[in-house]
């Protein structure tokens, strides 16, 4: 049996590994390394490891007082089905900076069952939520002539 470890130690995070996954993920295709580095720096993060190899990641963006948004939760394909996403979410939701918050949000295409185990529900008032979505934010922008 493989021995996995979950850690909130930011020094263990492997930005190259996180970037390699996220740049291919449907929600962050082509995300630049500098963007990933800035996102990690400004989030509460957790990693899943097999030895020294980072094989999973999750983060929460928070003001530490009222709100958190969970993002970039993943486990590499060869390690899925081992409960690692659940363990990372347990670690994140127990983190001291995420206690006493009024609202926590996330977006998922296919992991509703995982997040429901942590009390997440579909939006009770989706008509109140709005978004400004820029799907091409990571694409090079055409230059404008001077």
pLDDT tens digits, residue range 12-27? Answer: 999 999 999 999 999 9
Whether residue 110 is contained in a domain is answered as yes
Is residue 13 within 8 A of residue 21, CB to CB? The reply is no
Residue 146 within any structural domain of the chain: no
77-125 pLDDT tens trace = 999 999 999 999 999 999 999 999 999 999 999 999 999 999 999 999 9
Please check whether residue 141 lies inside any domain of the structure. Answer: no
Q: Model-level pTM?
A: 0.90
Number of domains in the chain: 1
Q: What is the CATH number of the domain that holds 107?
A: 3.40.630.30
Residue 131, burial from CB neighbour count under 10 angstroms (0-12, 13-18, 19+): exposed
Write out the residue range of the structural domain in which residue 80 sits.
4-128
Distance between CA atoms of residues 83 and 1, nearest Å: 13
- Whether 45 maps to a domain, the answer reads yes
Closest by CA position to 106, among listed 137, 68, 132: 68
Coil vs helix vs strand at 18? helix
Average pLDDT, the chain: 94
Instruction: Give start and end residues of each alpha helix (H) in the chain.
Output: 15-22, 33-41, 84-94, 112-116
């Amino acid at each position: 049996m493989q021995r996995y470890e979950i850690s909130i130690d930011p020094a263990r995070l492997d930005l190259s590994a996180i970037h390699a996954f996220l740049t291919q993920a449907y929600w962050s295709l082509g995300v630049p390394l500098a963007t990933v580095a800035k996102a990690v720096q400004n989030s509460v993060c957790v990693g899943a490891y097999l030895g020294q190899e980072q094989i999973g990641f999750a983060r929460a963006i928070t003001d530490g007082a009222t709100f958190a948004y969970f993002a970039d939760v993943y486990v590499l394909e060869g390690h899925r089905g081992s409960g690692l996403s659940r363990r990372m979410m347990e670690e994140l939701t127990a983190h001291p900076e995420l206690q006493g918050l009024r609202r926590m949000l996330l977006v998922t295409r296919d992991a509703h069952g995982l997040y429901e185990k942590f009390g997440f529900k579909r939006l009770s008032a989706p008509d109140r939520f709005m978004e400004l979505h820029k799907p091409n934010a990571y694409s090079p922008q055409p230059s404008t002539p001077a």
